[in-house]
Structure 1
Amino acid sequence: MNRGRTVVLLEIAMMAAFAMVLDFIDSQMKMVFFGMSLSFSMVPVLLLSLRRGVKAGMAAGFLWGLLQIALGDAAGSIVHPLQGFLDYAFAFTLIGLAGLRSFPVTHLKVILFSAVGIFARYFVHFISGWVYFGAYAPKGQPAWLYSLVYNGQIALINSATCIVILLILFTVAPKLFKAEKL
């Protein structure tokens, strides 16, 4: 294995672990914004995706999803194996789509491609919520609408939070978004 590949694998592992640590902090702080949890734990995976591309970002997202199953929020919230796969392994992997950007990374690309990765994640959560959690919809409300409102609110709040943090990071430390040729 060459040095460059080792460095990328190390970055993937570190960013997935960092995302998990931030998720623990999010859970402990219980920051609430209009009744929804405010989370910034996607930032490391989004940053890695913007820095290294789709494959590295998706690998980190997948690893973070597995960590969620083993250590995190998945405990007690998996109602079916396919739902667990969709909500954790698959949805978290799609955050890596932020890496579809081209170089050089700019403020606009940080916004647009982070939104792509976040939207892809929450679209899967929407589908899963519609299929597996529609029974929680208020009487008379379609399951798809319940899932759209619930997941849509979380997606908007968390995407705004993560994108603002990424823009601040890009402004004060743009080298974080530039991967060295190894």
Structure 2
Amino acid sequence: MNRERTVVLLEIAMMAAFAMVLDFIDSQIKGIFFGLSLSFSMVPILLLSFRRGVKAGMAAGFLWGLLQIVVGDAAGSIVHPLQGFLDYAFAFTLIGLAGLAGRPVNHTKIVIFTALAVLARYFIHFLSGWVYFGAYAPKGQPAWLYSLLYNGQIALINGITCIVILVILFTVAPKLFNVIKYNRY
């Protein structure tokens, strides 16, 4: 295995673990922002996607989704194997779509491709919610509308949060978004 591939695999593992740590922090502060579920745990996966591209971002998202199933919030919320796959493995993998931005990264690409990745992830959550959690809808409300409102507000809040954090990071530390090539010895 060459050095560059090893570095990429290490970044994938580190960013997935960092996302898991941030998700734990998010769960501890949930609701203190006027009852809203504010989360910034997608930032490491999005950052990796901008740095390394779609494949690395999707691999890290997939790994984070698996970590959610093994040690995270998924424990009590998987009602069907397909729902578990959609909500965790597949939806989290789609965060890597931010890597479609390509090089060079700029503020506009960060906003557009973060929004794309967040929309892709939460579209899967919307579909899963519609099919598997529609029974939680208030009486008379269609399951699709319940899922759209529930997942839509979370997507909007988390998407804006991630965009703001990534734009600030890019402004103050643009080198985080670049890959440094190491000389071989």
TM-score class, shorter-chain normalisation, is over 0.9
SS of the aligned residue for 1:75 comes to helix
The one-letter amino acid paired with 1:77 is S
Q: Is the 8 A contact 2:18 2:44 kept in 1?
A: yes
- What is the aligned-residue RMSD (CA, Å)? 0.9
Write the distance in 1 (CA, Å) between the matches of 2:103 and 2:96: 16
TM score, norm. by length of structure 1: 0.98
SS of the aligned residue for 2:41 comes to coil
Write the distance in 1 (CA, Å) between the matches of 2:158 and 2:102: 24
Write the distance in 2 (CA, Å) between the matches of 1:179 and 1:2: 16
Write the distance in 1 (CA, Å) between the matches of 2:115 and 2:33: 20
**2:132 aligned with 1:132, yes or no?**
yes
Write the distance in 2 (CA, Å) between the matches of 1:45 and 1:124: 17
> How do residues 1-182 of structure 1 correspond to structure 2 at under 5 angstroms?
1-181=1-181
Write the distance in 2 (CA, Å) between the matches of 1:127 and 1:43: 23
Q: Is the 8 A contact 2:54 2:96 kept in 1?
A: yes
Deviation of residue 33 (structure 1)? 4.0
Identity %: 82
The one-letter amino acid paired with 1:152 is G
TM score, norm. by length of structure 2: 0.96
Write the distance in 2 (CA, Å) between the matches of 1:98 and 1:157: 18
Deviation of residue 32 (structure 1)? 4.0
**Dislocated runs of 4+, deviation >3 Å:** 31-35
Write the distance in 2 (CA, Å) between the matches of 1:34 and 1:53: 35
Which structure 1 residue ranges, 5 or more long, are not aligned?
none
Deviation of residue 34 (structure 1)? 4.7
Deviations 1:76-107 (Å, cap 9, x if unpaired)? 10000000000000000000000001211000
